[in-house]
Structure 1
């Protein structure tokens, strides 16, 4: 009996420890040594990632900053944990310096479309014309829905925080990362859904607090395959792997709400 109790207790403790390791980037607690922006990355030049937008969400008692991506003339895609409970958003288009956008749009919660279970949201926007500094990113085709992209190189961009106590970065940063096997994240977090993409960070390269909702775009074809979702509560520089929403798992849902699809 003592052995059985010990085994049960060890399983419970392991489960609790795993839960403590996983946290949405916008919710990283103060004092957890979150340092760096997009960690170990480099500054973006103007026009390098014309599809990224800054999202300043607001509600009565506060707000939050996230990233997002332009996927159509009237659509932006981001993480659900960014839109959750928010009342409105100001969208910053074509910015390199965070608040120095080419232009902005204000959108109310009425135009937020949140997935029921996945960490993905759509935002219906006023019409945006595309040009060199403001442009859409393509999504994967339906033919790619079973591609796990393991081993592929991709670009992540955002204005992530420079520290727990400080604000988000004032300049857009990028980092090149290699998509890893989901087993790397499963062994670290205790479980890891097939609807997610794992980014191992052996050199601490990756996302940080404030990068939530930003795009993961593969080098080959410049298609967005992931959305920045969560990382380790131990901090950006903890070498903990990062979790991204797997866009191919939601292509039907995106098409049904936006009409955007590639065959």
Structure 2
């Protein structure tokens, strides 16, 4: 567990600089980690657009629910030396009582994002800047998907068909916590009255992650009915779940 450090005066000064539109080197401000706010996951994808395709950084943040009124923001740069803020949106209240807030940031193709998370509540500002290193995703030299608090995350899923029939397929990324692990899809066609399972299989390490993250794929035969599913990841005797913040995942053919 990382050591907890309270926000110092340097962070206050930097927040004021941002509010007045000045640019600064965010990574040089100070180290910050606070249990009240933590990035869960983040990844980039290529989005088809008109007239040009673009990159989208998506992610989720978990915050302690300290008050009904709060702001969760992503403070980011795309390599041009200018820091900007993008508000995250409330998504769900988790079983722990914490809240999940999601964000999306669009930029030109192959953009390298560098960012930290700012949480403002009760007149206080809490930061998660990856313990002073900031989070870095995308571009030529950084991974296109990362995990912080989360152990795994669904990357994509869809129905598809070929000559053999109809299938559900998808990709998952997860923390490489040990060489031996199992990843299982638990799914239902009748709103969880009955369930079935399918195994995912290892595909590759996430590029530029130093083997910290892996990609796993899954495919199983489908009926074409609406389907709900969640993903379990068992490693070192512990089972982690990605159930879409308690809502489970859904697909409609």
TM-score, with normalisation over the residues of structure 2?
A: 0.28
Which has a greater percent of helix?
1
Greater Cα radius of gyration, structure 1 or 2: 2
Which has a greater percent of strand?
2
